Chain A
Amino acid sequence: MAYVISLATSKGGTGKTTTALNLAVAMAEKGRRTVLVDLDPQGSVGLSLAKGETEWPGLAEFLLGSATIEQVIVQTKVSTLALLPRGRLDPVETREYEILLNSPARALELIGELSRDRDYVILDCPSGLGLITRAALAMSSFVLVPLQAEPLALRSIGQILRVIDHVQKQENPALRLLGILPTMVELRRDTSLNVMGTVWSELSGVLETIIPRAEAFARASELGLPVSFMGGRIPPEARRFELLVDEIERVIADLSGTTGETDETLQRQLV
Chain B
Amino acid sequence: MRRCSVNSSDLGRAGELTRRLRQPGGGQALLTPELLRHPAQPPAVTPTPAPPSPVVDLHAPPLELESWEVFLAWSLELCRARAGFVVDPQGFVVATRGNVPTDHFDGLGAELAYAMEQLDRIDTEAGSLLSIELQFASRRLMAMRVSRDSDSSFVIGYVGSRPLGDEVRNAIARQVAHSLDRLI
Could you tell me the distance between the alpha carbons of A164 and B6 in the complex, rounded to whole angstroms? 21
Tell me whether B6 and A108 are in contact (CB under 8 A): no
Tell me the dominant secondary structure on chain B's binding face: loop
Residue A252 at the chain B interface, CB threshold 8 Å: yes
Min CB–CB distance B92 → chain A (angstroms): 22
Out of A99, A198, A255, which one reaches B26, CB within 8 Å?
A255
Could you tell me the distance between the alpha carbons of A130 and B11 in the complex, rounded to whole angstroms? 23
Min CB–CB distance A57 → chain B (angstroms): 12
Could you tell me the distance between the alpha carbons of A1 and B29 in the complex, rounded to whole angstroms? 6
Tell me whether A104 and B52 are in contact (CB under 8 A): no
Tell me whether B15 and A204 are in contact (CB under 8 A): yes
Which residues from A are CB-within-8-Å of B29? 1-4, 115, 141
Tell me whether B45 and A204 are in contact (CB under 8 A): no
Q: Determine the residue in chain B with the shortest Cβ distance to A140.
A: B31
Tell me whether B7 and A155 are in contact (CB under 8 A): yes
Which residues from A are CB-within-8-Å of B6? 151, 154-155, 198
With A65-B52, A255-B24, A256-B24 as contacts: A154 and B4 at CB distance below 8 Å = yes
Min CB–CB distance A106 → chain B (angstroms): 5
Min CB–CB distance B178 → chain A (angstroms): 20
Which residues from A are CB-within-8-Å of B49? 66-67
With A161-B21, A177-B22 as contacts: A111 and B31 at CB distance below 8 Å = yes
Tell me whether A165 and B17 are in contact (CB under 8 A): yes
Could you tell me the distance between the alpha carbons of A156 and B120 in the complex, rounded to whole angstroms? 59
Q: Determine the residue in chain B with the shortest Cβ distance to A65.
A: B52
Considering only residues 220-254 of chain A, those with a C-beta below 8 Å from chain B are: 252, 254
Out of A64, A112, A254, which one reaches B42, CB within 8 Å?
A112
Tell me whether B30 and A158 are in contact (CB under 8 A): no
Could you tell me the distance between the alpha carbons of A254 and B26 in the complex, rounded to whole angstroms? 10
How many residues on the A side are at the interface (Cβ–Cβ under 8 A)? Answer: 69
Which residues from A are CB-within-8-Å of B28? 141, 174, 256
Residue A257 at the chain B interface, CB threshold 8 Å: yes
By CB atoms of chain B within 10 A, which of A104, A168, A173, A179 has the most? A104
By CB atoms of chain A within 10 A, which of B10, B19, B23, B42 has the most? B42
Tell me whether A158 and B2 are in contact (CB under 8 A): no
Residue B59 at the chain A interface, CB threshold 8 Å: no
Residue B56 at the chain A interface, CB threshold 8 Å: yes
Min CB–CB distance B141 → chain A (angstroms): 18
With A93-B99, A155-B10, A197-B1 as contacts: A175 and B26 at CB distance below 8 Å = yes
Out of B13, B18, B77, B82, which one reaches A205, CB within 8 Å?
B18
Residue B40 at the chain A interface, CB threshold 8 Å: yes
Could you tell me the distance between the alpha carbons of A165 and B20 in the complex, rounded to whole angstroms? 8
Could you tell me the distance between the alpha carbons of A70 and B11 in the complex, rounded to whole angstroms? 44
Min CB–CB distance A176 → chain B (angstroms): 4
Q: A1-B29, A66-B49, A176-B23 are in contact. List 4 more A-B contacts (CB 8 A).
A: A68-B45, A154-B4, A165-B17, A197-B1
A-B contact pairs, 29 of them (CB 8 A): A64-B80, A67-B49, A92-B99, A95-B98, A104-B38, A105-B42, A105-B56, A107-B36, A111-B31, A113-B45, A138-B36, A139-B31, A141-B29, A141-B31, A151-B5, A151-B6, A155-B7, A161-B21, A173-B26, A174-B26, A176-B22, A178-B27, A179-B22, A194-B3, A203-B11, A203-B15, A254-B24, A255-B25, A257-B25
Task: Report, nearest first, the 6 A-B pairs whose CB atoms are least far apart.
Answer: A65-B52, A177-B21, A104-B36, A105-B40, A204-B18, A161-B17
